[in-house]
C-alpha cells in the first residue's frame, strides 16, 4: 500500500471517528485495471476502503454541489481550486468542508497507455515512479512521467491551494518554459486549419454529456442543452448542434476552469475537449492575470466590472 | 449444417465482391477509436479487434434518424402533411458482429416488432440485414456473456458464424440469408462438416472456459419488483454516478429514443434520436413534474429495466447480454456485474 493511501485512510477514519464530518468523499478501488470509483465513507471502517493512485483523475468537487452535510473530501491541487470555485460561487460553504489535500505528481493518460498494446490491459501496478502494465501478450514497465495527462504536464499548482490536512509534504511545483504551447499551436493555424481541427476534434462525439457531467463547474440545475421551453439546441447528431454544445459549454467555464481534465477523462470517445477550455484559461491569464480557484478573497474577473478592465476587443 | 472454409487470402476479394450486392457495416478504427459503422468503398472490417466501443445497434437504429418530413410551402401539393422520407432498404451486411451483439438485436426486436406495432424503420432495416458473426476466441476480462444467455460462440440472431483459425475462417452457415451472402461473396469452398464442427466445438469450450466472471441472475425472477425497488442499496450504488449517457449509448440493448421536430425555412423534419434514462429530461412531463427527478431514481431505473422489468415482461432473460462495454466505459466505474450480484442476492428484511 502506498503512503498516500495509508495516510488518507488514517485521516478519513479519524475525522469520522471524532465526528468532525458526516461523510468523507474519496476514491475506492475499481473493478477493472486503471479504474477507480468515487465513493463515500460514513464510518471509520468504510474509510479503510479508500485508495490513492495515478488513476484518481476525476474531480470529486463534482459531488459537493448543494450538499448540506459536513463533508470530508480528498483533493488534488486542481480539485482544491475547484473547491475554491464552489465556495466563491456559493455552492458550498467553507465551514462545511474538511479538505484532505493531496500533493499531486500527476495522473496518467489511460488512452495513451492503452495505445501501447494491441490487447486489453489485465494488470496495472504502480511501483514508485514506474508502472508495470500487463496484457495477455506482453508486459511493460513505463515511467509515469512519460504518460501524464495533458493537463498534468502543464500543471502549475500540484499542491492543494486550500486544505485542512495534507497527506504528505508539498511537492515541488513544475517550472514550465511555456505552459500554453498547445494553445499557441492552434492559435497559429489559419481559419481553415482551425475549422478542420475543431471539426475533426468533435467528429466522434456521441453527445453523452460525460464531459459536462464530470465537470465540477457544470452544476446548472438545467443545462442549456436540456432546456425544452424554449429549446435552444437541436438534440440530434447534426454537427452544428454538437458544436454549439461544446462551444457554449466551454464559454460557461471561462475564468472558472482549473484545467482538472475530468472532462477528457470521462469522455468515452477520447475527445480532447480541453482544446476549447485551454484557450479560455490562457485568455483569462493573459487578459486579467487570473488563474481560477487560487483565492477565496477575490471575485473572478468575469463576475466583476472594473473601469480598468481591458477593452481592446471593442475598439 | 454446411461449413464453408474461407482462406484469408481470399477474404478481401470476397468482401469486395459482396459490395456489389450489400452495403457493408463493420468494425473500423476512427480516430483511434474502434466503432461499428458503414464501411467506405476502400474500407475493410477490422476482424482482429477485440471489441468496438460503440455497439452495432446503429446499423438498424441510427443515433439520429429522419423519420418523417413535410413541406411548409403552401404552393406545393401535400404541404404540411408529414411523409416518410425515402429510406434505403437494399441489402446490408453487418460483418464481424459479435455473438452477444447479435443476441442484443433479438432483444431489441422484442420492442420494435410486436404483435400490436411494427416499427417500420427498424424492422425494414432488420429484414435487409445479414448478420455475419465473428466468434470471440479470446473473451475480454469484462465479457460475462455466458451469464446472460449468450456466449463467445453463441449463434442466436446470426446468419453466419465465422470462426477465426489464423490463416482461414470456418463459416457456419446458419440461415438461407447467410448462404446467400456467402454465395454473393464467392465463398464456396465447402469444408468437411464433421471435422469442422468438432474443431469449432473445441474452440467454443475453450473460449467459454476463459470467461471467469460469473454473474448469477437466478433469483431475480422470484423477487418482487417492489422489494427490489425499495431496497436500501440504491443511494449508495448511485452515489458516484454522474448521470452521463455513456452506459446507455454504448449499450447494444438500450433502445429508448426521443422524437424531435426541426424546421428550417419551408421544410420540416421529424427525427428520432437515441435518448438516455440517465438524463432528467427523459421523464420530465409537460406539467413540469418529473417522476424520476433524482439521480438515484434514474440509476435504479436503468438496472431495474435491464435486469428485472424486462425479465418479468418478456420472460426472455435479462436485457443485458454481458458485452461489458458499460463496465469498460463508465467514467466512474459503476459495474453492472456487481449491481446484478447485489440485486440477485438481496433478501428484504421482513
User: What are A60-74's pLDDT values in tens digits?
Assistant: 999 999 899 999 999
Looking at the fold, whether B280 and B333 belong to one and the same domain comes out as yes
Looking at the fold, whether B293 and B235 belong to one and the same domain comes out as yes
B131 found inside a domain: yes
Residue contact B31–A203, C-beta within 8 A: yes
Rounded distance between C-alpha atoms, residue A291 and residue A84, angstroms: 12
Looking at the fold, whether B308 and B169 belong to one and the same domain comes out as no
From B183, B124, B191, B138, select the one nearest B159 (Cα to Cα).
B183
Q: Does B50 lie at the interface with A, CB-CB under 8 angstroms?
A: yes
Question: What integer pLDDT is reported at residue A308 of this predicted model?
Answer: 87
Instruction: Kindly list the residues from chain B whose CB atom is less than 8 angstroms away from the CB atom of residue A269.
Output: 33, 53
Instruction: Kindly list the residues from chain B whose CB atom is less than 8 angstroms away from the CB atom of residue A235.
Output: 258, 260, 271, 273
Residue contact A228–B138, C-beta within 8 A: no
Query: What's the predicted TM-score (pTM) here?
Result: 0.95
B81 found inside a domain: no
Question: What integer pLDDT is reported at residue B244 of this predicted model?
Answer: 96
Question: What integer pLDDT is reported at residue B114 of this predicted model?
Answer: 94
Looking at the fold, whether B282 and B170 belong to one and the same domain comes out as no
B275 found inside a domain: yes
Chain A and chain B share a number of CB contacts under 8 A equal to 110
Q: Which residue is closest to B243 within chain A, CA to CA? A: A213
pLDDT < 50: residue spans in chain B: none
- B249 CB-contact burial (10 Å; exposed 0-12 / middle 13-18 / buried 19+): buried
Q: Which domain holds residue B126?
A: 2-59+88-210
Give the DSSP H or E segment for B311.
helix B310-314
B313 found inside a domain: yes
Looking at the fold, whether B20 and B151 belong to one and the same domain comes out as yes
Interval A151-172: pLDDT, tens: 999 999 999 999 999 999 999 9
Rounded distance between C-alpha atoms, residue B67 and residue B90, angstroms: 17
Looking at the fold, whether B139 and B179 belong to one and the same domain comes out as yes
Looking at the fold, whether B169 and B246 belong to one and the same domain comes out as no
DSSP A231-270: --S--SS-HHHHHHHHHHHHHHTTTT-----HHHHH-TT-
Q: Does B282 lie at the interface with A, CB-CB under 8 angstroms?
A: no
**Of the candidates A38, A119, A207, which has its C-beta nearest B332's C-beta?**
A38
B70 found inside a domain: no
Rounded distance between C-alpha atoms, residue A192 and residue B233, angstroms: 53
Distance from the A280 Cα atom to the nearest Cα atom in chain B, whole angstroms: 24
**Of the candidates A40, A213, A268, which has its C-beta nearest B53's C-beta?**
A268
Q: Write out the E strands in chain B.
A: 2-7, 23-30, 33-38, 64-71, 92-97, 129-134, 160-165, 168-173, 257-264, 267-274
Strands, sheet with B33-38, edge to edge from the N-terminal-most edge strand: B2-7, B168-173, B160-165, B129-134, B92-97, B23-30, B33-38
Looking at the fold, whether B233 and B338 belong to one and the same domain comes out as yes
> How far apart, in Å, are the Cα atoms of A215 and each of A151, A207, B90?
14, 15, 44
Q: Does B32 lie at the interface with A, CB-CB under 8 angstroms?
A: yes
**The total number of structural domains that make up chain B:** 2
Looking at the fold, whether B203 and B244 belong to one and the same domain comes out as no
Rounded distance between C-alpha atoms, residue A57 and residue A79, angstroms: 10
Residue contact A268–B258, C-beta within 8 A: no
Residue contact B245–A200, C-beta within 8 A: no
Confidence band of A1 (pLDDT split at 50, 70, 90): low
B69 found inside a domain: no
Question: What integer pLDDT is reported at residue A9 of this predicted model?
Answer: 98
Looking at the fold, whether B54 and B160 belong to one and the same domain comes out as yes
Question: What integer pLDDT is reported at residue A315 of this predicted model?
Answer: 67
Residue contact B244–A208, C-beta within 8 A: yes
Distance from the B209 Cα atom to the nearest Cα atom in chain A, whole angstroms: 16
Q: Does B30 lie at the interface with A, CB-CB under 8 angstroms?
A: yes
Looking at the fold, whether B241 and B131 belong to one and the same domain comes out as no
Other C-beta atoms closer than 10 Å to the C-beta of B332 total 24
> Which of these three, B158, B175, B210, is where a domain ends?
B210
Looking at the fold, whether B125 and B162 belong to one and the same domain comes out as yes
Q: Does B281 lie at the interface with A, CB-CB under 8 angstroms?
A: yes
Rounded distance between C-alpha atoms, residue B326 and residue B334, angstroms: 8
Q: Does B240 lie at the interface with A, CB-CB under 8 angstroms?
A: yes
Confidence band of A309 (pLDDT split at 50, 70, 90): confident
Amino acid at each position: 500500500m502506498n503512503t498516500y493511501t495509508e495516510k488518507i485512510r488514517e485521516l478519513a477514519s479519524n475525522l469520522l471517528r471524532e465526528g468532525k464530518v458526516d461523510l468523507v468523499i474519496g476514491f475506492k478501488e475499481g473493478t477493472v485495471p486503471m479504474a477507480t470509483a468515487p465513493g463515500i465513507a460514513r464510518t471509520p471502517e468504510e474509510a479503510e476502503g479508500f485508495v490513492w493512485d495515478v488513476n484518481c483523475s476525476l474531480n470529486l468537487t463534482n459531488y459537493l454541489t448543494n450538499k448540506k452535510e459536513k463533508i470530508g473530501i480528498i483533493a488534488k491541487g486542481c480539485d482544491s481550486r475547484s473547491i475554491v470555485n464552489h465556495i466563491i460561487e456559493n455552492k458550498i460553504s467553507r465551514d462545511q468542508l474538511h479538505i484532505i489535500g493531496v500533493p499531486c505528481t500527476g495522473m496518467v493518460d489511460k488512452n495513451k497507455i492503452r495505445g501501447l498494446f494491441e490487447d486489453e490491459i489485465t494488470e496495472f501496478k504502480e511501483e514508485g515512479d514506474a508502472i508495470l502494465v500487463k496484457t495477455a501478450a506482453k508486459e511493460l514497465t513505463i515511467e509515469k512521467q512519460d504518460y501524464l495527462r495533458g493537463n498534468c504536464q502543464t500543471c502549475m499548482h500540484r499542491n492543494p491551494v486550500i486544505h485542512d490536512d495534507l497527506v504528505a509534504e508539498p511537492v515541488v511545483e513544475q517550472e514550465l518554459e511555456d505552459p500554453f504551447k498547445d494553445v499557441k499551436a492552434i492559435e497559429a493555424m489559419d481559419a481553415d486549419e482551425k475549422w478542420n481541427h475543431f471539426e475533426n476534434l468533435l467528429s466522434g462525439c456521441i453527445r453523452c454529456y460525460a464531459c459536462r457531467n464530470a465537470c465540477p463547474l457544470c452544476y446548472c440545475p438545467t443545462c442549456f442543452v436540456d432546456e425544452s421551453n424554449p429549446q435552444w439546441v437541436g438534440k440530434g447528431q447534426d454537427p452544428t448542434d454538437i458544436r454549439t454544445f461544446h462551444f457554449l459549454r466551454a464559454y460557461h467555464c471561462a475564468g472558472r476552469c482549473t484545467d482538472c481534465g475530468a472532462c477528457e477523462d470521462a469522455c468515452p470517445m477520447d475527445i480532447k475537449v480541453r482544446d476549447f477550455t485551454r484557450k479560455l484559461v490562457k485568455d483569462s491569464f493573459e487578459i486579467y492575470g487570473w488563474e481560477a480557484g487560487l483565492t477565496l478573497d477575490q471575485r473572478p474577473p468575469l463576475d466583476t466590472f472594473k473601469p480598468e478592465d481591458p477593452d481592446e476587443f471593442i475598439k | 449444417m454446411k461449413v464453408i472454409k474461407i482462406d484469408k487470402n481470399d477474404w478481401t476479394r470476397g468482401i469486395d465482391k459482396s459490395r456489389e450486392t450489400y452495403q457493408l457495416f463493420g468494425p473500423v478504427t476512427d480516430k483511434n477509436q474502434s466503432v461499428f459503422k458503414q464501411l467506405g468503398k476502400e474500407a475493410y472490417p477490422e476482424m482482429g479487434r477485440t471489441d468496438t466501443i460503440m455497439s452495432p445497434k446503429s446499423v438498424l437504429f441510427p443515433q439520429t434518424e429522419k423519420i418523417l418530413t413535410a413541406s411548409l410551402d403552401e404552393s406545393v401539393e401535400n404541404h404540411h402533411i408529414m411523409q416518410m422520407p425515402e429510406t434505403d432498404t437494399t441489402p446490408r451486411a453487418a460483418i464481424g458482429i459479435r455473438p452477444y451483439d447479435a443476441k442484443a438485436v433479438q432483444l431489441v426486436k422484442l420492442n420494435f416488432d410486436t404483435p400490436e406495432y411494427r416499427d417500420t424503420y427498424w424492422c425494414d432495416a432488420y429484414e435487409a440485414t445479414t448478420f455475419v458473426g465473428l466468434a470471440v476466441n479470446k473473451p475480454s476480462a469484462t465479457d460475462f456473456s455466458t451469464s446472460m444467455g449468450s456466449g463467445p460462440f453463441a449463434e442466436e440472431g446470426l446468419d453466419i458464424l465465422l470462426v477465426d483459425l489464423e490463416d482461414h475462417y470456418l463459416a457456419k452457415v446458419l440461415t438461407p440469408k447467410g448462404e446467400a451472402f456467402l454465395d454473393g461473396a464467392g465463398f464456396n469452398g465447402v469444408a468437411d462438416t464433421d471435422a469442422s464442427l468438432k474443431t469449432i466445438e473445441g474452440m467454443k469450450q475453450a473460449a467459454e472456459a476463459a470467461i471467469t466472471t460469473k454473474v448469477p441472475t437466478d433469483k431475480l425472477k422470484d423477487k418482487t419488483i417492489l422489494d427490489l425497488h425499495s431496497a436500501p442499496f440504491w443511494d449508495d450504488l448511485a452515489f458516484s454516478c454522474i448521470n452521463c449517457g455513456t452506459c446507455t449509448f454504448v449499450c447494444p440493448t438500450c433502445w429508448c429514443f426521443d422524437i424531435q421536430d426541426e424546421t428550417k425555412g419551408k421544410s420540416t423534419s421529424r427525427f428520432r434520436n437515441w435518448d438516455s434514462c440517465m438524463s432528467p429530461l427523459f421523464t420530465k412531463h409537460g406539467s413540469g413534474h418529473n417522476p424520476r427527478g433524482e439521480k438515484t431514481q434514474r440509476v435504479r431505473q436503468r438496472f431495474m429495466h435491464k435486469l428485472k422489468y424486462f425479465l418479468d415482461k418478456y420472460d426472455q432473460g435479462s436485457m443485458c447480454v454481458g458485452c461489458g462495454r458499460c463496465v469498460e466505459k463508465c467514467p466512474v466505474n459503476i459495474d453492472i456485474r456487481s449491481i446484478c450480484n447485489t440485486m440477485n442476492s438481496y433478501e428484504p428484511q421482513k
